[in-house]
């Protein structure tokens, strides 16, 4: 994917929720790397596909998003979707966290999944 198209998509989702794009870094890493981040900073001893560190101020969207490519790949196989589709879902999941959306409860998780689906539909219109 063209990074300009990806940036355009991310910025359009941020604007949709009244955010102002500031500075977001994506760090693509391995399962082992993200496990170490999870242990060191969050005291969690398990693998995950994404960890988002939120540095937002007011509605300026700023943060670091760590994505395990290993887990994205295994999840794409598990859910029978393409690797890129799963990667885009995880990318926008991190952005939605920076916009203030949570996913800890069953209700919040369902809403997050719907927001991801909506954002992926926006991406389809840009492509």
Closest alpha carbon to 95 in 68, 121, 69, 61: 61
- pLDDT band per the 50, 70, 90 thresholds, residue 127: confident
Inter-residue contact 67 to 90 (CB < 8 Å): yes
91-109 average pLDDT score: 97
Q: What is the mean pLDDT of the chain?
A: 96
Q: Which domains does the chain have, with CATH numbers?
A: 3-126 (3.40.390.30)
pLDDT at 64 over 70: yes
What are the residues facing 11 on neighbouring strands? none
């Amino acid at each position: 994917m063209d990074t300009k198209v990806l940036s355009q998509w991310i910025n359009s989702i941020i604007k949709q929720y009244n955010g102002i794009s500031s500075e977001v870094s994506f760090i693509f890493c391995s399962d082992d790397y993200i496990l170490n981040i999870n242990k060191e900073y969050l005291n969690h001893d398990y693998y995950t596909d994404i960890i988002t560190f939120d540095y937002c101020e007011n509605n300026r969207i700023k943060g670091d998003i760590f994505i395990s490519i290993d887990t994205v790949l295994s999840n794409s196989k598990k859910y029978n979707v393409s690797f890129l589709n799963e990667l885009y879902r995880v990318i926008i999941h991190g952005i939605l966290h920076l916009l203030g959306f949570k996913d800890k409860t069953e209700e919040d998780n369902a809403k997050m999944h719907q927001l991801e689906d909506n954002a992926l539909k926006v991406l389809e219109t840009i492509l």
